[in-house]
Amino acid sequence: MLSVLRNQTYRHLLAAQLVALTGTGLATVALGLLAYDLAGDAAGMVLGTALTIKMVAYVIIAPLAAAIAERLDRRRMLVALDLVRALVAICLPFVTEIWQVYVLIFVLQSASAGFTPAFQATIPDVLTDEQDYTKALSLSRLAYDLESLLSPMLAAALLLIVSFDSLFWGTGLGFIASALLVVSVALPSPKPTERRGIYDRTTRGIRLYLSTPRLRGLLALNWTAAALSAMVIVNTVVIVRADLGLSESAVAIALAGFGGGSMLAAFTLPKLLDTYKDRSVMLTGAAIGTLAMGVATVSFAVTQVSLIGLTILWACIGFGYSATLTPSGRLLTRSARPEDRPAVFAAQFTLSHACWLVLYPFAGWMMTTTNTATTLAVMSVVASPGLVAAALIWPRPRRKAVSKERSDTS
């Protein structure tokens, strides 16, 4: 897996991702604690609303950013967006009202909506061999798991000596370091072979995506993954603080369980994808995550779950979540020409976050109006249709599925 680090450009990009996500991980813990500090037991609703605003920004901004990015130097764009995110993060420690959280989250995530798809679309242009790209996807998944595992552990240690709002300063430093690493390398910026209008550029990625059968299957799996992660991200702070009566550091430990399971999946995926088809691996991952949440439902209904038990359950859900979504970059890369990749990656970004747009507030509302066992049960039921739909929509590898927009997609 580490052989791809011989590529200097990718090495710098991975390092940029690592430092940015370390900061983002600190912000994830701090935002949950900020919501609890401002709203108490209603923190789930506040955090769910904040995450909903994040999803709105992603759904609206990503296609527009992809259209604009066709005409911009990719490196300059990424650096500028990193600096915007750093500035917003530095403002978060001074928040005293809930509405201020909402405004800053919208600005921060609007910048991320432009940054993330462009960054993701750059990797297959840097690593053109599919095996190398598969390894890079697993390394990228490991980098994302810093937000759920190593960063929360770092947050737990820092919370012993500083207040939670100080963690936002670490987020700002992470984005600044990311900008410096991106500016240190030359990045490819494929240009469209023909000039298109703004409407065509804005919608092309979604049209390509929805015309490709395997990507429609991926969209269904996005729904399942969103249901799994929404339960964990939105409601962990309430479960740990209110149900279990534990400390702020325990919130970080529980979230680390989710990240640990995801990291384990990332380590095993390159070998699994050499042996099994993407479809089989991703459907199995979705099934594991959904089953684990069903087990969590029974556990909370029957007895008082300990922190260790919760962490193990979250790890199983994290494993399934990672196995479901990590190979998606391979599907997107196969389904678009190099000049269309930013648009298709932006479409995945938009459509997947549209699922979270629905399920984040729903998970927060369920937790606020019912109890943990009921919320887990409902979220398990909500996750299941995505798994079933993906199995039906996504053709098996032996069948050739043709995109209406491209003759070589399936």
DSSP 3-state percent helix, strand, coil across the chain (nearest 5): 85, 0, 15
CA 313 from chain centre, in angstroms, equals 19
**pLDDT tens sequence across 225-259:** 999 999 998 888 888 888 888 877 788 788 888 88
Please report the pLDDT score of residue 398 as a whole number: 60
- The count of other CB atoms within 10 Å of the CB of residue 24 is 23
Please report the pLDDT score of residue 399 as a whole number: 47
Q: How far apart are CA 358 and CA 361, in angstroms?
A: 6
Query: In the structure, what pLDDT confidence band is assigned to residue 410 with cuts at 50, 70 and 90?
Result: very low
Q: What average pLDDT score do residues 85-101 get?
A: 84
Query: In the structure, what pLDDT confidence band is assigned to residue 312 with cuts at 50, 70 and 90?
Result: very high
Pick the residue with more confidence: 1 or 322?
322
- At residue 71, does pLDDT exceed 70? no
Q: How far apart are CA 294 and CA 272, in angstroms?
A: 25
Pick the residue with more confidence: 194 or 18?
18
Please report the pLDDT score of residue 224 as a whole number: 96
Please report the pLDDT score of residue 189 as a whole number: 63
Q: How far apart are CA 66 and CA 69, in angstroms?
A: 5
Q: What average pLDDT score do residues 336-343 get?
A: 75
User: What DSSP state is assigned to residue 243?
Assistant: I
Report the chain's terminal Cα–Cα distance, integer Å. Answer: 27
Q: What percent of the chain has pLDDT over 70?
A: 88
**pLDDT tens sequence across 164-196:** 777 888 888 889 999 999 888 887 766 655 556
Q: How far apart are CA 11 and CA 261, in angstroms?
A: 25
**pLDDT tens sequence across 46-63:** 777 777 787 788 788 877
Across the chain, mean pLDDT equals: 82
Query: In the structure, what pLDDT confidence band is assigned to residue 402 with cuts at 50, 70 and 90?
Result: very low
Query: In the structure, what pLDDT confidence band is assigned to residue 199 with cuts at 50, 70 and 90?
Result: low
Please report the pLDDT score of residue 405 as a whole number: 44
Report helix angle 248-275 to 150-158, nearest 10.
160
Please report the pLDDT score of residue 222 as a whole number: 94
User: What DSSP state is assigned to residue 241?
Assistant: I
Q: How far apart are CA 111 and CA 393, in angstroms?
A: 33
Q: What is the pTM of this model?
A: 0.74
Q: What average pLDDT score do residues 21-41 get?
A: 74
Q: What average pLDDT score do residues 78-90 get?
A: 90
Q: Phi/psi at 194 (nearest 5 deg)?
A: -140, 150
**pLDDT tens sequence across 353-386:** 889 888 988 998 899 888 899 999 999 999 999 9
SS3 of residue 6 by DSSP: helix
Which residues contact residue 52 at a Cβ distance below 8 angstroms, ignoring those fewer than 6 apart? 357, 360, 361
User: What DSSP state is assigned to residue 40?
Assistant: G
Query: In the structure, what pLDDT confidence band is assigned to residue 400 with cuts at 50, 70 and 90?
Result: very low
* 13, two tokens: 């990009």
Please report the pLDDT score of residue 196 as a whole number: 60
Q: How far apart are CA 345 and CA 329, in angstroms?
A: 8
Please report the pLDDT score of residue 287 as a whole number: 95
Please report the pLDDT score of residue 41 as a whole number: 67
- At residue 204, does pLDDT exceed 80? no
Give the torsion through C-alpha atoms of 264, 265, 268, 272, to 10 deg: 160
Instruction: Return the CATH superfamily for domain 2-188+195-393.
Output: MFS general substrate transporter like domains (1.20.1250.20)
List alpha helices for 149-192, DSSP H: 150-158, 167-183
**pLDDT tens sequence across 116-160:** 777 877 888 788 777 788 788 878 777 776 665 666 667 777 777
Q: How far apart are CA 29 and CA 31, in angstroms?
A: 6
CA 118 from chain centre, in angstroms, equals 15
Contact indicator for 58, 69 with CB cutoff of 8 Å: no
